[in-house]
Amino acid sequence: MIFVTGGAGFIGANFVLEWLEQRDEPVLNLDKLTYAGNLHNLESLQGDARHIFVQGDIGDRALLERLLAEHRPRAIINFAAESHVDRTIHGPEDIIQTNVVGTFRLLEAVRQHWQRLAAQEQQAFRFLHVSTDEVYGTLAPDAPAFTETHNVEPNSPYSASKAASDHLVRAWHHTYGLPVLTTNCSNNYGPLHFPEKLIPLMIVNALAGKPLPIYGDGMQVRDWLYVRDHCRAIARVLDAGRLGEVYNIGGWNEKPNIDIAHTVCALLDELRPRADGQSYRQQITYVTDRPGHDRRYAIDAQKIERELGWKPAETFETGIRKTVQWYLDNPEWVAQVQSGSYRDWVAKQYGRVND
């Protein structure tokens, strides 16, 4: 089996769903269920013996040791993190605890487990760390996109914590020989995205008649990738990536934030027009910029394409249309997330979430 951390969050849940749609290999899923963890995301796996869910913290050494000994996974895929830049600006303590200390404890527990394996199992073992393009810092408008050898120059508490975890993973490979892989991906979007992030926030606020807040001048550029494309890239790196290597993953799809807002509004105008006949664009509001806001990210994804044959399957046009349609089709998911009732549902539905 594989051992996924943070598998009740946006990308982790999409990964678990994609994995079990494609393969029969079971998934052990450890998630702390912070505000970002939502077991509703995995509702379709209820009763599926291939999915074992455990509520817990990647920083809990005793729990990790027990799970590793009991389930003997052949690979770890570490998604667990505090992932929201704005939240981590307001309170950076949690990101240090989870993204840095948590990754360290996970690495240590996995290293001890791995060192005790038989030679053949040791060779086949993998630790895949899921990271972000934000570790590379910001790009000038005409600068080439980030390659894997770009300087690491994080500018926010979040990106600094992710860069720190990437460095730990690298060091555990060089010093202890742990068979690691690291992926640095650009901005994801798609179903199950928590509506604190730009795209889902635009969709749910537009439908609720609320303002669509655009930071600063809205000309910050991000490189958007459909979440299932990211999940397939991770699976590909796990299967065939070279040990100790970093793989950048991106959508070749740079867009300023204001264009994203316009695209979402245009799709909603088409699919769910406002009762007053006006465009959702009327709701766009420019607000104070994020402190230290990085101006541009862009990923050069040639290495993963050349070495592993991965390319995104979705274009932005197909991916964003699917995404907007998913939010229109799943108002109860949005309502539960907004009211916080998805957390009560966890207790009711999963009474015993701890292993």
Residues involved in catalysis = 133-134, 158
Question: How far is the C-alpha of 338 from the C-alpha of 208, rounded, in Å?
Answer: 11
The entry of ligand NAD, ligand DAU, none near residue 102 (CB within 5 to 8 angstroms by kind) is: ligand NAD
Question: How far is the C-alpha of 354 from the C-alpha of 56, rounded, in Å?
Answer: 7
Instruction: Report whether 95 contacts 160 (CB < 8 A).
Output: no
Residue with CB nearest ligand DAU? Answer: 132
State yes or no: residue 138 binds ligand NAD (CB under 6 A): no
Which lies closer to ligand DAU via its Cβ, residue 198 or residue 234? 198
Q: Which residue spans within the chain are E strands per DSSP? A: 2-5, 27-31, 51-55, 75-78, 126-132, 180-185, 187-189, 212-215, 221-226, 246-249, 254-256, 284-287
Per-position b or e across 83-116, b if 16+ CB within 10 A of its CB: bbbebbbeebeebbebbbbbbbbbbbbbbebbee
Say how many residues touch ligand NAD, by CB under 6 A. 30
Q: Which of 225, 219, 198, 224 is nearest to 295 (CA)?
A: 219
Angle ∠(271,274,275) on CA atoms, nearest 5: 125
Question: What mask, x for binding ligand DAU by CB under 6 A, covers residues 136 to 175?
Answer: ----------------------------------------
Among 133, 166, 254, 314, which residue interacts with ligand DAU (rule: CB under 6 A)?
133
The entry of ligand NAD, ligand DAU, none near residue 215 (CB within 5 to 8 angstroms by kind) is: ligand DAU
Among 104, 176, 215, 350, which residue interacts with ligand DAU (rule: CB under 6 A)?
215
Q: Which of 292, 296, 297 is nearest to 156 (CA)?
A: 292
Which lies closer to ligand DAU via its Cβ, residue 92 or residue 213? 213
State yes or no: residue 130 binds ligand DAU (CB under 6 A): no
Q: Which of 82, 86, 67 is nearest to 34 (CA)?
A: 82
Chain centre distance of CA 129: 11
Question: What mask, x for binding ligand NAD by CB under 6 A, covers residues 165 to 204?
Answer: --------------------x-xx-----x----------
Which residues, numbered 18-57, are part of the site for ligand NAD (CB under 6 A)?
30-34, 36-37, 57
Instruction: Report whether 185 contacts 250 (CB < 8 A).
Output: yes
State yes or no: residue 236 binds ligand DAU (CB under 6 A): no
Least Cβ distance, residue 87 to ligand DAU (angstroms): 9
Kindly list the residues in this chain that would bind ligand NAD in the complex (CB under 6 A).
5-6, 8-12, 30-34, 36-37, 57-59, 79-81, 83, 98, 102, 130, 132, 162, 185, 187-188, 194
